[in-house]
Structure 1
Amino acid sequence: MIKKILFLFLFLGTTTSFSQNISLSEKAKVSILTCGLGPESYAMYGHTGIRIQDSINAIDVVYNYGAFDFSTPNFIGRFVKGDLQYFVTNGSFIDFYYNYQAENREIIEQELKLNPTQINLLFQQLNHSVYSEERFYTYKFIDRNCTTMVVDKINGILGKEYIKSDTSNQSYREILYPYMTDFYMKLGIQLIFGTKVDEPATRLFLPYEFKEAISYTKINGDSIEKSNKTILEVSKPEVPFNWLNSIYSLITILLVLVMINKKWITISYFVFAGLLGLFFSLVGLYSLHEEVLWNYNILLFNPLLLVFAWYVKKRIKERIVLFGQIILAMLLVYLAYMTTKIHLEIVWPFIAVHFYWIAKIVLKIKKSKLARG
């Protein structure tokens, strides 16, 4: 959804400046461009653009939201915090087309049934967005991205929220989940997401969901979609199964750690898991991204594991039992909560290992106490 900076430079290098006072002809057309998925993190959900054509005025331009500048001071820190400024760009359609052709990503075009007045108004608004302070905005993963900005623009022209989500029976997490094909990227993203992505998906925020919504949207019984065609077809090679990038490699790694049965490995794992939970806790306090707030995955990667690991290392048995029981209780709460969550299928190996290791340590101490009687 976020365009690479190279893509931005291509656009800025070919941008045509349009006067706010240009009036498009009766032959002007507006279409939504939905662009295919890519393997990179910025492209895994696709992209949405607005194309405006006017053969009389020799205009064929695409407007894009979601560009950003890597040279921004403290880029990583601002990205994590959620106050990095994104902006809208425009450029020639032919550059747009060739860029996606080079990336082997399809382009689907849906022409909208808008009247000349609406098309002219949209054109003026988009140009104002590009050439004014309105160009910059604070990106939000669900609420303000390359798709939602376009949805809002089109609905604003229509005068009502005609194009809207029809997937409120699904959560944002459930809609996002199939897009993540890289296992470890999927695992990381699912773990860092908090409760917001489990809310019903009332917002159109992904390109292909927007495309589907356009197809079924009607105004006064008349479809808003005038045409729907794939203008750039690509052939995607079949990706073979990669054992290393699958849940099977994760299970194998965890099983090997358990079977080695070394105290230092157990302690090191608990320290790692506790630090991960501490990160989940702190990033939620630091970041403005609502998607990482209230992250219940800290019940699995529990910061208390750091304390537990310390007591295990120091062999303070009473504390080991106390904190072990507390962590196990929290783990049971987590498991009960996760029974309705789609990502249970990829986090269960961690749940199993945590239960096994912690329960084994606690029970061993309890049995030794009973034996001494």
Structure 2
Amino acid sequence: MSRLKLLIVLFLITFFNGFAQNGILSDEAKVSILTIGTASESHTLYGHTGLRVQDQQRGIDVVYNFGYFDFDTPFFLAKFVKGDLQYFVATNQYPDFEYNYRQENRSIFEQTLNLTKTQKQQLFDRLNQTLFSEERFYTYKFIDRNCTTMVIDKVNEVLGSKVIASKKPVEKTYREILNPYLSINFFQKLGVNIIFGPKTDKKAEVLFLPLELMEALKSTKIDGQPLVSETKTVFEAKPLENTFSIWNNIYFFSALVLLVLVLKKKGIYIAYFSIMGLLGVFLSGVGFYSFHEEVAWNYNILLFNPTLLIFLYFLKTKNRKWISNLALFNLLCIVVYMVIIINKAQLLLFLPMLITSTVLLSKFAINNRKVR
């Protein structure tokens, strides 16, 4: 869908409340931040943030939603991976917004902001200016620009400073904040920790997740007064059955990886090193291709090493010298890798692969060393 067509569609969607959004808010107007709970789909794992403007006198009850993207965008997946996918803001009538998330069984929390009438009007005007201009589009960044950070920026703009921010001193890293959201799906958690590099090991200076924002707002003050005048639970999601998966957990994964050592089959060794090497090629390609800082300079390539594919070539051609050399090289990379991640949150996730790779590579290095 072209940008022109998309603008036309969005204009029609917002047409019926557009005229009401251009005017002077009454003294009864309220502005609140809406936080939506998590779900199991990949795009719902971390929740969602919206900004609600309500004015019963003017017949306004609208949510500004910065989380829209167009699946029909040409080369959608490639753009998403590269980091130049355009997201945009659109509006929903609040009853529709609430109904949709109730249907999805996702909790809804509302925090009313303690803003002056002037600040409410400025925010309302600024949101509408963004909504009906090219400013509605923005380049999505996992940490730095998303539905939560965009709401924070809009509110901080009318407050005149970065009132809404991470609480100092920051104690957790981005990775430490993200991992609990992935606890119900081990392989998703493993994949995220493989593809994310050193940026996510930095202290979480940016407030970027909806639920983290909600908690921060509870203690945020401006001019000595709480920024949030009221926090309420609009809808609490019904608890889901906690079903244990036989295969989707660290125990199954550890047993599967360590089984490579137990079976002692050359074909299994080749399959294992092929997977590790191909993952390294993927990490290298994404690191060079993508604008996402989260995947750049990924030290996981020291474990998922592309040179393992060259190692397999020499294993096939029975070149003992280079089998030993590449095994030793990869062992050296693993030593460096261990130094890097020894105090990182993902160490236990990767431990089965660290053990298996170290044992196998040591075996190949010893068995193929030069005989005098």
Residue 6 of structure 2 is matched in structure 1 by none
The DSSP-based 3-state class of the residue aligned with 1:17 is helix
Residue 209 of structure 1 is matched in structure 2 by 212
- Deviation of 1:66 after TM superposition, in Å, equals 1.8
- Give matches, 1:157-176, under 5 Å: 157-166=158-167, 168-176=170-178
1:297 aligns with 2:300: yes
Give, in whole Å, the separation in 1 of the partners of 2:269 and 2:335.
Answer: 20
Identity of aligned residues (%): 48
- Give matches, 1:66-215, under 5 Å: 66-166=67-167, 168-181=170-183, 182-215=185-218
Residue 329 of structure 2 is matched in structure 1 by 326
The DSSP-based 3-state class of the residue aligned with 2:161 is coil
Moved over 6 A (4+): 9-12
Q: How many residues align?
A: 361
Give, in whole Å, the separation in 1 of the partners of 2:19 and 2:82.
Answer: 35
- Deviation of 1:218 after TM superposition, in Å, equals 1.0
Give, in whole Å, the separation in 2 of the partners of 1:93 and 1:19.
Answer: 14
Give, in whole Å, the separation in 2 of the partners of 1:249 and 1:315.
Answer: 33
The DSSP-based 3-state class of the residue aligned with 1:88 is strand
Cα deviation code 1:121-152 (max 9, x no counterpart): 11111111111111111000000000000011
Counterpart residue type for residue 31 of structure 2: V
Give, in whole Å, the separation in 1 of the partners of 2:167 and 2:316.
Answer: 53
Question: Is the Cα contact below 8 Å between 2:258 and 2:352 reproduced in 1?
Answer: no
Give, in whole Å, the separation in 2 of the partners of 1:10 and 1:105.
Answer: 25
- Deviation of 1:14 after TM superposition, in Å, equals 6.4
- Deviation of 1:233 after TM superposition, in Å, equals 1.6
- Deviation of 1:19 after TM superposition, in Å, equals 6.0
1:269 aligns with 2:272: yes
Can you give the 5+ residue segments of structure 2 that lack an aligned partner in the other structure? 1-8
- Deviation of 1:258 after TM superposition, in Å, equals 2.6
Give the alignment's TM-score, normalised by structure 2.
0.94
Match of 1:225 among 218, 225, 228: 228
- Deviation of 1:260 after TM superposition, in Å, equals 2.4
- Deviation of 1:20 after TM superposition, in Å, equals 6.5
Give, in whole Å, the separation in 2 of the partners of 1:143 and 1:357.
Answer: 40
Cα deviation code 1:203-233 (max 9, x no counterpart): 1100011111111111121111100010112
Can you give the 5+ residue segments of structure 1 that lack an aligned partner in the other structure? 1-8
Residue 46 of structure 1 is matched in structure 2 by 47
The DSSP-based 3-state class of the residue aligned with 1:73 is coil
The DSSP-based 3-state class of the residue aligned with 1:33 is strand
1:58 aligns with 2:59: yes
- Deviation of 1:10 after TM superposition, in Å, equals 11
The DSSP-based 3-state class of the residue aligned with 1:245 is coil
- Deviation of 1:270 after TM superposition, in Å, equals 1.1
Give, in whole Å, the separation in 2 of the partners of 1:12 and 1:259.
Answer: 63
Counterpart residue type for residue 144 of structure 1: R
Question: Is the Cα contact below 8 Å between 1:140 and 1:289 reproduced in 2?
Answer: yes
Give, in whole Å, the separation in 2 of the partners of 1:337 and 1:27.
Answer: 55
Match of 1:365 among 353, 358, 368: 368
Counterpart residue type for residue 257 of structure 1: V
- Deviation of 1:264 after TM superposition, in Å, equals 2.1
Give, in whole Å, the separation in 2 of the partners of 1:55 and 1:252.
Answer: 60
Question: Is the Cα contact below 8 Å between 1:299 and 1:334 reproduced in 2?
Answer: yes
Question: Is the Cα contact below 8 Å between 1:11 and 1:90 reproduced in 2?
Answer: no
Counterpart residue type for residue 39 of structure 2: G
Counterpart residue type for residue 226 of structure 2: S
Counterpart residue type for residue 201 of structure 2: D
Give, in whole Å, the separation in 1 of the partners of 2:362 and 2:299.
Answer: 21
Match of 1:307 among 307, 310, 330: 310
Give, in whole Å, the separation in 1 of the partners of 2:270 and 2:317.
Answer: 11
RMSD (Å) for aligned C-alpha atoms: 1.7
